Chains A and B, each alone.
Chain A
């Protein structure tokens, strides 16, 4: 059974960098059949996709959201079976529950999710 677990600080000050890690267990992040994604969900709102990484190192970001422009970095550490998210220059608008998830490459479906971590941006 694949499990994903987000970790990182739950409180970040404005203008600082949000850093989260997703640890995958029960399966290898190096499997070529999946992408590994970050999403977020502000309170009471829908899901917003942030970006994804492939085991070979290919990375895609959500270029349609101008608020992410040049602020997002996703990386992967196959030796630790982890992938990470960094979001710089955060504001209150970045307050949300952040999820990591596995995405199948056939139907691009998010089949396994972490439990989510609430990140609040506040001084």
Chain B
């Protein structure tokens, strides 16, 4: 099965910063990569599908890029509500679906 590895595991940043999170797949998954945001006590929320397509209603400060084995989620200018944990998920070789271990974005 395909393993997903995110880096960093945690990240401290300030409001207004530009931040990027990386997700690597153990084998090529083309652009079958989705990103989620999860806040404490809440279900995950789909942000990006197909590596770079913004889900309806998601602010344009979120963007995704990459293909093959390396992908990036970028937040162009952090807002207070963006501090959360972010997960990537591969969607090529399914089932099963596999998720990264998560990146916790904290306020500096």
Residues of A within 8 A of B (CB): 37, 46-49, 51-52, 60-65, 99, 101, 103-104, 107-111, 113-116
Contacts and interface: CB of A to CB of B under 8 A. Distances in A.
B55 A110 contact: no
18 contacts: A60-B96, A61-B95, A63-B95, A63-B96, A99-B43, A103-B97, A108-B94, A109-B34, A109-B46, A109-B49, A109-B50, A109-B89, A109-B91, A110-B34, A110-B46, A113-B44, A113-B45, A114-B43
A40 B18 CA distance: 31
Interface residues of B, number: 25
Contacts of B32: 107-108
A116 B95 contact: no
Contacts of B100: 46
Given A64-B1, A107-B49, A108-B32, A46 B97 contact: no
Contacts, number: 68
Contact of A116 (B43, B87, B96): B43
